[in-house]
Amino acid sequence: MSIVKSKIRTIPDYPKPGILFRDITSLLIDPEGFQLTIGMFVERYQNSKLNKIAAIDARGFIPGAALAFQLGVGFVPIRKKGKLPGNTISESYALEYGVDHVEIHTDAIVPGDKVLIMDDLIATGGTLEASIKLIQNLKGQIHECSTIINLPDLGGAKRIKDTYGIDVYSICEFEGH
């Protein structure tokens, strides 16, 4: 964990003053760090009998696709509204100043699929919560949510557990926001 955490850079005042942006691109360009990250996810989920990895647009796609490939399971993109062709369903989530939406193809999950939801980071949990609702609407069974980074001071992982009974596994944590 400490190796992975040490490879994630912090960019102060991005995207606005007072925010400490946890940037995984520094982890992704480091072969040792990226391999270790995916290896930790593989070790955790290799015996979970998952059918699909559903990953959130856009940074969640990177570990999600790599893990789906390693486990030999399907990869499901959860995208921002208007980015997926074909039939989709949509779910809204709150932003600091407004509302946004994520979508999933209606045929991406079949009833009973055992699904892991992945993103790069959990803060308040809004996008993970919307993704949970999408998968539940398609009758998928959510095994767990997984992220590289948890920002526990913002309470998202606790809220997901308390509201939905779904654990959020994260490789490392950072204080603050």
pTM value is 0.95
DSSP secondary structure letter of residue 140: P
Within 8 A by CB and 6+ apart from 10, the residues are 20, 21, 22, 23, 174
| Predicted local distance difference test score (pLDDT) of residue 176 | 81
Give every strand in the sheet of 114-122, ordered side by side: 88-95, 98-105, 74-80, 52-56, 114-122, 141-150, 168-173
**Rounded distance, CA 54 to CA 58, Å?**
12
**Angstrom distance (rounded) from CA 15 to CA 154:** 17
Listing DSSP states for 51-86 in one string gives SEEEEETTTTHHHHHHHHHHHT-EEEEEEETT-S-S
As given in the structure block, the two tokens for residue 75 are 């990869």
Residue corresponding to tokens 């949509």: 90
Instruction: Tell me the percentage of the chain whose pLDDT exceeds 90.
Output: 92
Phi, psi for residue 109 in degrees, rounded to 5: -125, 130
Q: What is the mean pLDDT of residues 119-140?
A: 97
Largest CA distance in the chain: 44
pLDDT of residue 96: 67
| pLDDT computed for residue 119 by the predictor | 98
User: Which residues are known to be catalytic?
Assistant: 59, 96
Residue 110 CB-density burial (10 A; 0-12 exposed, 13-18 middle, 19+ buried): exposed
| Mean pLDDT to the nearest integer, 26-43 | 98
pLDDT over 70 (residue 93): yes
CA atoms of 55 and 108, how far apart (whole Å): 12
Query: Which tokens go with 30?
Result: 């480091």
